[in-house]
Each structure stands twice: as structure tokens, then as C-alpha cells.
Amino acid sequence: MAFKIPRVYPILDSSIIPSAGRDEFLRRLGGSLTEAGITLLEYRNKSGSDAEMLADGAALRAAMPAGQVKLILDDRADLVAAMKFDGVHVDAGDATPAEARRLLGPERIIGTFGGSDALLPGILAAPVDYLAVGPVYATTTKQTSKPPIGPEGVRKLREQAGPDVVLTAAAGITLATAPMVLAAGASAVAVSAAIFRATDPAAEFRRWMQELSRD
């Protein structure tokens, strides 16, 4: 499938979602982000039940209409269809990219981890639409034992991947460092804390888009 990734997209981690008024919070957040011009969002919930994830997904999909915003689910390829999401991001320990592709078919978006200091062996043959690389910088929103690779690591991975592979860079990226990461060869930057710990995530996302459009 033809997949055009935006230069920046948020990863919404469930840790920032309040337990009280959860549905209302997600609908309000999703609506404001849609108005701000978001076109892709990844939802990540490492500890919630299936029921919680399905409820969260329904709230997000209601506020972020299909055809306007693509929603990516972290890990759970088996829940993508039920949540009416557009795709899945799978890592080691989840379904393999091939399994996810068989389950979801050719039209949905599938991404996976592509490597840190070097591309994973055989990863360029995986049936995916994008490869995530990193961590670029230290991060507190996702547990990882891998050392940060910095923009230079992104540059090396781009050289290995070639010009046509969609590479998304993640972890610890701020608005100050994003231009360097993109210049090093990332197709996009995925951000979590930098957007969702802001007082107004939609306004912060709009600021990112405005600043990065100048580069």
C-alpha cells in the first residue's frame, strides 16, 4: 500500500490517561488533536485489559474520524479490526510482521522495530510499511535497555536502509532536537512526552508542525 507518513506523529501512552473520566478525556483530546491537523496517532497500552483498550479505541475513533486520522495500535494485532484502527506496530515478543500482515491483510499499516545500532538481519524483507529505529535519546515513557544512538546512529541506519525505506525515529526527541534527527535521515519522528506532558497537547503539536515546516 502507498503510505505517506507525517514528519511528526504522537504516541499516546496509556500512562497519561486518567482513570476517572477516561472516555471524556480521550474524546476531548482526540478532537483537539484532529482540529490541530494530526493525521497519524499511535495508541500504546502495555498493561490494560482488552476491555479497557477497546473502550479507549472507541473513544479515539469517535473523536478522530477514519479517513482523516490514521490510528495505529501498539502490539495487539488481534484487536486492530475490533477497534477500527488502521494498523499496528509490532515489536519482539508481539506477533511477527508476517503474522500481522496475514491477519490484517494488505491495506492496513504495519510497522515494526528496525534496529538500533544496526538494522536487524533480514528486516528489509519484512512485509511492513515503516521501520522504527532508536532509541535516539534517553526516554522515560518506554522501558528499554538499548543505549541512545543520537542523530549519528539514525544517519548510519538510513545508509543501511537506503533512500526508499520509511524510517521513524523515536525516544526522547524534543522540538529542539527533531530537526537534527530528520536531517540525519529519519522520515518522521514519533514523540510521546514532548506532546502529551504539555499543558495543551494540541497546541504543542501545532507548534511542532509549524516549526518543522520551516526546515
Per-residue pLDDT band for 93 (boundaries 50, 70, 90) equals confident
Write the secondary structure of the chain as one string of H (helix), E (strand) and C (coil): CCCCCCCEEEEEEHHHCCCCCHHHHHHHHHHHHHHCCCCEEEEECCCCCHHHHHHHHHHHHHHCCCCCCEEEEECCHHHHHHHCCCEEEECCCCCCHHHHHHHHCCCCEEEEEEECCCECCCHHHCCCCEEEECCCCCCCCCCCCCCCCHHHHHHHHHHHHCCCCCEEEECCCCCCCHHHHHHCCCCEEEECHHHHCCCCHHHHHHHHHHHHCCC
Determine the average pLDDT of the residues in 46-59.
97
Within a domain: residue 72?
A: yes
pLDDT, the chain, mean: 94
Within a domain: residue 2?
A: no
**What share of the chain in percent tops pLDDT 70?**
96
Tens digits of per-residue pLDDT, 136-180?
998 766 666 789 999 999 999 999 999 999 999 999 999 999 999
Within a domain: residue 180?
A: yes
Number of domains composing the chain: 1
Tens digits of per-residue pLDDT, 125-142?
999 999 999 999 987 666
State pTM to two decimals: 0.94
**Residue 88: domain span:** 8-212
Within a domain: residue 3?
A: no
Within a domain: residue 200?
A: yes
Within a domain: residue 14?
A: yes
Within a domain: residue 73?
A: yes
What per-residue confidence (pLDDT) applies to 1? 43
Q: For the domain that residue 91 is a member of, what is the CATH number?
A: 3.20.20.70
Within a domain: residue 162?
A: yes
